[in-house]
Structure formats: C-alpha cells, structure tokens
A = this chain, B = another copy of it.
Amino acid sequence: MYQETKTHEVTVDVVILTVRNKKLQVLLIQRGQEPFMDKWAIPGGFIRLSEDLDAAAERVLEEKTHVKNVHLSQLHTFGNPTRYPKSRVITVAYCALIRSDELELASAETGMGIKDIKWHSVYNLPPLAYDHKEIISHAITYLRENVEQKPVAFQLLPKKFTLTQLQKTYEMILNKELDKRNFRKKILSYIILTELTEVSKEGSKRPARLYSFNKFFLDNRQSKTNL
C-alpha cells in the first residue's frame, strides 16, 4: 500500500483545434503560477479515479470550452520522466476539432492559476509549457494525415455550407492551396454531401449553392472516422 504513494500522476491533455481567421488555431491557456508562470499550455487535467480516459478528455474539453459532444481522438501518451519539473506526470494526449464560433471561452475561469485563455495560430505559437509544443506538433501531423483519408472537416463547419467554404477549411488544415475543380470532383464522389435548394447570399457576388452532410454520413461517422 505504501508503494501506491510512489505511483505516477496521470493527466489528459487536449489539443483543441479550429479554423479561424483563415488560420488553423489552437486553444491555449496562459499559466498564472509556477512552474512555467506566464507560459502557455494546452488544456488538461487529472484523470479521476473511476473515470475513463475518453471521459476525462471530454470533461476537460467541456470545462474549458463549454463544448460537448465533440469527437475526440486519442493521439499518443507522453511520459518522459523529465517532462514535468516537480513530479512524474504521464499524460494521455487527445485531439479535438471544433467550430470556434460555437464556443464561449471559459474566460470567467481566469484567476485560478489561469491568466488568460485564447486562440493562437499554430504557425506562430507563444512560448509553451512542458512538452506541449511536441504534443501540438503530433496533433497537427495526425490531423493532416487523417483529413486526407477521412472527411473530418464537418466538425469545423456549420450545418449548411458552400463548397468554397469546405475547400477553404481543407486548405487551412493542410496549409496549401487546392484546385477547385479537382476538390469538387473528389468531395462529390464521396457521396456524403446533400445539395440543398438554398443558396448563400453571404458574398455580394454570385450566390453559391449550399450543401449539408447527408444523413447516412452523419449517422455513420463515429464508426468510419477516427477524428
């Protein structure tokens, strides 16, 4: 029993990604206490004793963003003995994709060791605490590998969207431009979109056809999609 006091602490850390202001961005929290005072960190927390790992990640996500029912993917577990300065902490890293406009940041919670909480472009990260730079880097690699294979962008779009919006989302994730005709051909061949009769009047130019993800896709995405 004594040796239990020697066991490790275990946390979950969640890399929360969004596309916002034409950039892939990650939600970061600025620490208000040592260690790593003023450095930025991805949201995380201890796993409760009778809480599943996935449930812990969902709880952390909800505590920081008030967003529920988002699909989370387990990425990797980090346990270098020196990654935490004071004690041995092993962390199970998760990745979530959310729409930034459906999110009220839990800014009210600043104070309890939290100085600030906000989005940062993944291409221009502030100084990060712990090994969080490495974790974010894993998350982006994972996302890019999966977005090509599996239609994951639906997490980032409203229910109705134009093909151009969808394409821009992919371009932000992959950080490269895509050919419009090829993109449309490919995405329509997947038969996961429903063409709506409505059109978007957002732009002041020619209206664009709206689409939604179809019922079959939405019903089956949990089993077919890792992210």
Which of A's residues lie within 8 Å of B, judged by CB? 1, 4-10, 47, 49-53, 74, 76-81, 88, 90, 92
A50 touching B81, Cβ below 8 Å: yes
B10 touching A8, Cβ below 8 Å: yes
CB-CB under 8 A from A8, the residues of chain B are: 7-8, 10, 47, 49
Given contacts A5-B4, A8-B8, A10-B7, contact A92 B77 (CB under 8 A): yes
Contact partner of A79 among B9, B79, B81, B92, CB < 8 A? B92
A51 touching B7, Cβ below 8 Å: no
The 3 closest A-B pairs by CB, nearest first: A53-B79, A50-B81, A77-B77
A76 touching B79, Cβ below 8 Å: no
A52 touching B76, Cβ below 8 Å: no
A79 touching B47, Cβ below 8 Å: yes
CB-CB under 8 A from A79, the residues of chain B are: 10, 47, 52-53, 92
Complex Cα distance A162/B66, Å? 58
Complex Cα distance A96/B10, Å? 24
Among A1, A5, A8, A51: residue with most chain B CB under 10 A: A8
A-B contact pairs, 6 of them (CB 8 A): A4-B9, A6-B49, A7-B10, A8-B47, A52-B80, A53-B90
Complex Cα distance A145/B118, Å? 37
- Complex: chain B residue closest to A52, CB-CB: B80
CB-CB under 8 A from A53, the residues of chain B are: 77-80, 90
CB-CB under 8 A from A88, the residues of chain B are: 49-50
CB-CB under 8 A from A10, the residues of chain B are: 7-8, 10, 79, 90
B51 touching A81, Cβ below 8 Å: yes
Complex Cα distance A47/B88, Å? 11
Complex Cα distance A15/B41, Å? 33
- Complex: chain B residue closest to A91, CB-CB: B77
Complex Cα distance A49/B89, Å? 10
Complex Cα distance A88/B4, Å? 11
CB-CB under 8 A from A77, the residues of chain B are: 53, 74, 77, 92
Contact partner of A52 among B9, B49, B81, CB < 8 A? B81
